[in-house]
Structure 1
Amino acid sequence: MDITITGRGVGIPDRFEDYATEKAEKVEHLAPKSIALEIKVCRHHETHGNAGDDRVELTLIGPGPIVRAEAGAGDKYAAFDLAIDKLIERIRQAKDRRKVHRGQHRPTSLREASADGFSVTDITPASADLIDQVATGSVPVTGESEEDWSPVVIRHKVFPSTRMTQTDAVDHMELVGHDFFLFIDAETDRPSVVYRRKGWDYGVIGLEETADELAARR
């Protein structure tokens, strides 16, 4: 697997290259057919008196769908650790989904786990007292300040249309870490979007052209 590291607005020392290359061995072990791992590091400029953060973007290229992950932190090493953990988790989840498709195992749903008091999982539910303290504000919850927060963030991206099955669309969505994925349904030829619901449940929304639209295309 080829590894390329590029920096935008930030230098890439030999120490970071060695660190990233060593960490990437786990990715190659989980995805041995991978062709290349692209690592991009950029520096976010200082804003509102806050120090700029480093951001790492990872793109795993192979014979199958592209896998992406990104993260930001106070330095490039911490950001890389967060990003590669996300990448590894998405690779593992993709393997689990393939096993589910083949009928090898079925994951435990949230309803099944909670019905048995989470005894079959490593999840420890929060106590009623703690939930009440968080709800009443007696236990502070950290987050962005009101002056830095904005409810409207719009990012524009354009991708070439791709025909695929609904199952492939789910795999692509999970591998890039999004909550939805746009595609052309190979069975219906409709522009469609697959989206995450709860747990391992997904939904698909498709667009159907009207008679007027079909006539205009002809």
Structure 2
Amino acid sequence: MEIVVTGRHTQIKQRFRDVVESKMNRVTAIAPDAQRAQIVLSHEGNPRQADTAERVEITVIAGRSVVRAEASSTDEFSALDMALDKLTLRLRRTRDRRKDHRRGYTNPAPVDLGTILPPEEPEAEPEEPNNSPQAAIASELGPGESVEVQVGDTPIVIRRKLHLADPMTIDEALYEMELIGHDFFLFVNKETGRPSVVYHRHGWSYGVFEIDTADNVAKVIKG
């Protein structure tokens, strides 16, 4: 596995590189297909943040999967240990999920909280200026393009970006969520075609939201 160590606002000491090299075998022991590991060490110069002055981010590429973890501490070595603990936990979870699927095990179905219907349309209001939040979603975007709009005289900035994604099942979305270590994951449900969100509740319990309009739901019921 290729290991790349870089620094952000800090220089990497040889001792830290050596420790990283020696401890990354924890990753290959769980994920032997890991191809590359990117470790980024960042230093926070603010003395008020001394307890989290050193931050370590680890990104591992294994096949088509990308697994990330990060942690902060008073020194780079303890931050590395904490980040590795998080990373190996996520790697074990994904490995166990693969084993369960091979054994024919099916996870309990996520809790479906039902379809969220949009509120009734409000009365028409005066046209907003170009620096309104509506301006951030008014224009068409191409794949990877983004637009930012500041809201009036406030410091609030709304950023919109278009991502292309293949539709996937709920189980595949849960798998992707576990890989990146987030508490939620936005996707297009392959079975319903609806924009959906899976989220982590507690333990191995998950929930799922699906978004649709009242008109579409009515068509499905009638059909």
Identify the TM-score tier after normalising by the shorter chain: 0.5 to 0.7
Cα separation, 1, equivalents of 2:200 and 2:24: 29
Whether 1:183 aligns to 2:190 is: no
1:160 partnered with 2:163: yes
- Aligned mate of 2:199, from 192, 195, 215: 195
User: For 2:52 and 2:179, how far apart are their aligned partners in 1?
Assistant: 28
More strand by share: 2
Cα deviation digits, residues 90-116 of structure 1 (max 9, x gap) = 111111222333346799xxxxxxxxx
Please tell me whether the aligned partners of residues 39 and 59 of structure 1 are also in contact (alpha carbons under 8 angstroms).
Answer: yes
SS in structure 2 opposite 1:66? strand
The amino acid that maps onto 1:56 is V
TM-score where L is the length of structure 1:
0.67
Task: Name the structure, 1 or 2, with higher relative contact order (CA <8 Å, separation 6+).
Answer: 2
Deviations 1:111-144 (A, max 9, x none): xxxxxxxxxxxxxxxxxxxxxxxxxxxxxxxxxx
8 Å contact kept, 1:52–1:74: yes
Tell me, in whole angstroms, the C-alpha distance in 2 between the residues paired with 1:199 and 1:170: 13
Map 1:11-160 → 2, pairs under 5 A: 11-46=11-46, 48=48, 50=50, 53-103=53-103, 160=163
CA distance change for structure 1 residues 82 and 158 in 2, over 3 Å: closer, same or farther? farther
How many percent of aligned residue pairs carry the same amino acid?
40
- Give structure 2 stretches of 5+ with no counterpart: 108-158, 217-223
- Number of equivalent positions: 166
Q: Tell me how far 1:48 sits from its aligned partner.
A: 3.8
Cα distance between partner residues in 2 of 1:203 and 1:16: 40
Cα pair 2:16 2:77 within 8 Å, conserved: yes
1:166 Cα shift? 1.1
Q: Counterpart of 2:146?
A: none
The CA RMSD measured in Å over matched residues stands at: 2.8
Q: Please, which runs of 5 or more residues in structure 1 have no aligned partner?
A: 108-155, 213-218
